[in-house]
Amino acid sequence: GENVEQHPSTLSVQEGDSAVIKCTYSDSASNYFPWYKQELGKRPQLIIDIRSNVGEKKDQRIAVTLNKTAKHFSLHITETQPEDSAVYFCAAIGSNFGNEKLTFGTGTRLTIIP
Amino acid sequence: GAGVSQTPSNKVTEKGKYVELRCDPISGHTALYWYRQSLGQGPEFLIYFQGTGAADDSGLPNDRFFAVRPEGSVSTLKIQRTERGDSAVYLCASSGGFEGPQHFGDGTRLSIL
């Protein structure tokens, strides 16, 4: 089955600087990669996703890049703000037809330092 | 509805008891998923429904866990003979179709004493 690894586990960034979180996956046929933001005690919130037919996707201050050859994808947050502080999870859907389950990484606790 | 709704938000019960957790997906979403999240970890897949049928139940840890979705909308996750290790946040998500974005509810925090 799919295995997703995520780094770093914690990340502290000065307000206004950029943050990058990286994930690798094991199933070369995986084709959908979402990122979720989870604040303490709240639901995971989908913030951006990418499919395997594109290499990059951007939405305002958030971007995701995908390298299928290397089987890794990254989340980039620019001009960080205090409200970006949260735990971020990457995830992937494996290749089996009808297999819709997300396999999540272990999370990155992002702290924005004012 | 506006989003995925889960009830109860919190459930505390004694070891050995039976519990039911309810999920009301986004209106019109055909796919429904249950995940379990332990403290400090990412959600782990339990079961996935497409319509009324369980398309993949490979994540259910053992036969004490069972889920139904009889009318293709609301789903109930049922846990028999609860154990302390079952304590976690149980998350439900729904999506509108194949590889559609999955949107999560607030979860049910289950505590087994």
Q: How far apart are CA A20 and CA A33, in angstroms?
A: 16
Lowest mean pLDDT among A17-21, A46-50, B34-38, B99-103: B99-103
Bridging pattern class, strands A4-7 and A19-25: antiparallel
Cross-chain Cβ contact A44/B91 below 8 Å? yes
Interval B98-111 mean pLDDT: 91
- Show residues of chain A in contact with B101, CB under 8 Å: 34, 46, 49
Q: What is the pLDDT of residues B46-65, one digit of tens each?
A: 999 998 988 889 999 999 99
pLDDT score recorded for residue B45: 95
- Show residues of chain B in contact with A42, CB under 8 Å: 106
Q: How far apart are CA A1 and CA A82, in angstroms?
A: 37
DSSP string, A16-75: TS-EEEEEEES-TT--EEEEEEE-TTS--EEEEEEETT-SEEEETTEEEEEETTTTEEEE
pLDDT score recorded for residue B97: 73
Q: Please, are residues B6 and B26 in contact by the beta-carbon 8 Å criterion? A: no
Interval B75-91 mean pLDDT: 97
B16/chain A closest Cα distance in angstroms: 26
Whether A93 and chain B come into contact, CB under 8 Å, resolves to yes
User: Could you tell me which residues are beta bridge partners of residue A34?
Assistant: A49
Give the rounded percent of residues in chain B with a pLDDT score beyond 70. 97
pLDDT score recorded for residue B49: 93
Of A40, A34, A7, nearest in space to A21 by CA: A7
Q: What is the pLDDT of residues A54-97, one digit of tens each?
A: 899 999 999 999 999 999 999 999 999 999 999 999 999 876 55
Structure tokens at A53: 């037919």
**Residue in A49, A101, A106 nearest the CB of B48:** A101
Q: What is the pLDDT of residues A38-56, one digit of tens each?
A: 999 999 999 999 988 889 9
Whether A61 and chain B come into contact, CB under 8 Å, resolves to no
* Residue in the block written with tokens 């913030």: A47
Structure tokens at B10: 């919190």
Give the rounded percent of residues in chain A with a pLDDT score beyond 90. 82
Nearest CA in chain B to A30: B99
**Residue in B4, B40, B101 nearest the CB of A34:** B101
Q: What is the pLDDT of residues A8-35, one digit of tens each?
A: 999 999 999 999 999 999 988 888 999 9
pLDDT score recorded for residue A113: 96
Q: Please, are residues B23 and B74 in contact by the beta-carbon 8 Å criterion? A: yes
pLDDT score recorded for residue B99: 67
pLDDT score recorded for residue A1: 78
The region, left, alpha or beta by phi > 0 then psi within -120 to 50, assigned to residue A26 is: alpha
